[in-house]
Amino acid sequence: MMTIEEILAGESKNVEFKENLPEKSIKYMKSVVAFANGTGGKIIFGIADQTREAVGFDKEDVFKKMDAIANAVSDSCEPAIIPDISLQTIDGKTVIVAEIPEGRQRPYYIKALGREGGVYVRVAGTTRLADEYMVRELMFEGSNRYFDQALCSGLTITDEEIDALCKSMKEQAVKNAHTEGQKASIKDVGRQQLRSWGILIERDGKDYPSNAYAILTGHGGLHVATQCGVFKGTTKAVFVDRREYTGPLWEQIEEAFQFVLRNIHLGATIVGIYRQDIYEIPPDAIRELIVNAMVHRSYLDHDMIQVAVYDNRLEITSPGKLPMGQTLERMKEGYSKIRNEALAHAFSYMNLIEHWGSGIPRIIEKVKAAGLREPEFIGGEVDLRINIYRGQVDDTVDINDRSTAVKMPLNRRKTADKVPVNEQEQQIYKYVLENVGITTTQAMELLGIKQRRTREILGKMVERGWLKKEGASRSTVYVKNTEVR
């Protein structure tokens, strides 16, 4: 039943008004199809869409109009859509409510226009013709298949490349393990496992790559990249820095994560007798948001994940509508609807995700525990945008609510005093803090690696603003960078 409050709220993603029953049914049939391709909806006949005034219908011919709507939907739509048509009294006027259920046999389209030109979707409360990407997305949903498990046409792989992927995934699993016990329990990943997940497809005794293989490794014709940017103010009008990261997904996650850490504020708190550096946004929440975007985005949509740092917020945009059966409300409650099953299995093995569906509630909890307002979720029809707003609600922060923690104001001065997350970089950074500086030779001995690789790591730490070089040639020492950026 529609309430007066719902009508006064006006048209929305799931509600549309029609003052009269149009002579040409196509004028509302597009919305019928769009609702079936989305999360369902209601068309209310007898309410003016501009004034939201109930004009109603004469009781003498209202049942004829109901039959006309039912026949038009039956004759015009493919696959069949069965609406629930009822009468309702609003402000003493009789209106017709046609409720369209969320469809499972997607894509739904107008017969006369065909699948090529008759598929419609709802976007921001309006009905629009679906583009090619959206039609393909709906086809995968309707056939209960996953795009990432489909064969990647035109891409061939060698045994060496498969072995390299298995090795890289094992390395990532160990790197992302939380405990020594967890590290010790990690098993090698082999071809049979990749086949069962849908990363490899076996045909006639030969392995072929799925789209998930191409997405994970960065190989093939699928251009999968992550765009990162820092913007002055609260819009994209003036940019300060822009980067685009490609390559294996786990590398894109790390690069995007480090990009955000370099461009948000670092404060401090006292835990017991020790000073502890803290970021204004919990790093775990940032990383989990990026991982969540990678595993749940639509890879049929050729847009890129966008990670944007504004003066007032961190904004992460994930391409593609929410998968069938998912809503913003259900997502925030922890309901999981996997869009990319092969990637989800791979991410789970690599310890990038823990329990499917638990990521968003955990992110919300971590952000609120840090004294920030609850993250904002926007869209879901063509893309999903998540905002974490910068700035403490009470302008103080408490580390995990420990009784020994002393609250201190956040340092709003943006500095280069960021803490590396990479394990080798952490070792160097810790050594520098304890010993004032480090030489290339000392770093080689500390990490047990060759000179060339050591110089690469030190150079990257200088580039990212964690260290700075002092001296030249053999007397070069790398020290902590304390300059304000």
Interatomic CA distance for residues 333 and 132, integer angstroms: 31
Q: Is 353 helix (H, G, I), strand (E, B) or coil?
A: coil
Same domain, 159 and 61: no
β pairing state of 305-309 and 226-232: parallel
Does 320 fall in a domain? yes
- Read off the amino acid at residue 424: Q
Domain range for residue 327? Answer: 226-389
Contact predicate 221/200, CB 8 Å: no
Paired tokens of 358: 């638990």
Does 185 fall in a domain? yes
Average pLDDT per 10 consecutive residues for the chain, totaling 485 residues: 68 90 94 96 92 92 96 97 95 94 97 95 92 94 95 94 97 93 94 98 95 93 92 94 96 97 84 74 95 95 96 97 92 90 96 79 93 94 95 52 36 44 80 86 89 88 86 82 60
Edge-to-edge order in the sheet of strand 305-309 = 238-245, 226-232, 305-309, 313-319, 383-389, 376-379
Same domain, 282 and 332: yes
**Domain of 434: which CATH number?**
1.10.10.10
The structural domain count of the chain equals 4
List beta partners, residue 209: 200
Residue by residue, DSSP assigns 145-185 as --GGGSB-TT----HHHHHHHHHHHHHHHHHT-SSHHHHHT
**Domain of 340: which CATH number?**
3.30.565.60
Placement of tokens 């015009």 in the chain: 76
**Where do runs of H (alpha helix) occur along 242-297?**
249-262, 283-296
Same domain, 236 and 381: yes
Of 144, 176, 208, the residue at which a domain comes to its end is 144
Same domain, 181 and 238: no
pTM: 0.76
Closest CA to 268 of 417, 478, 46: 417
Residue 394 confidence (pLDDT): 53
Interatomic CA distance for residues 267 and 278, integer angstroms: 5
Same domain, 284 and 321: yes
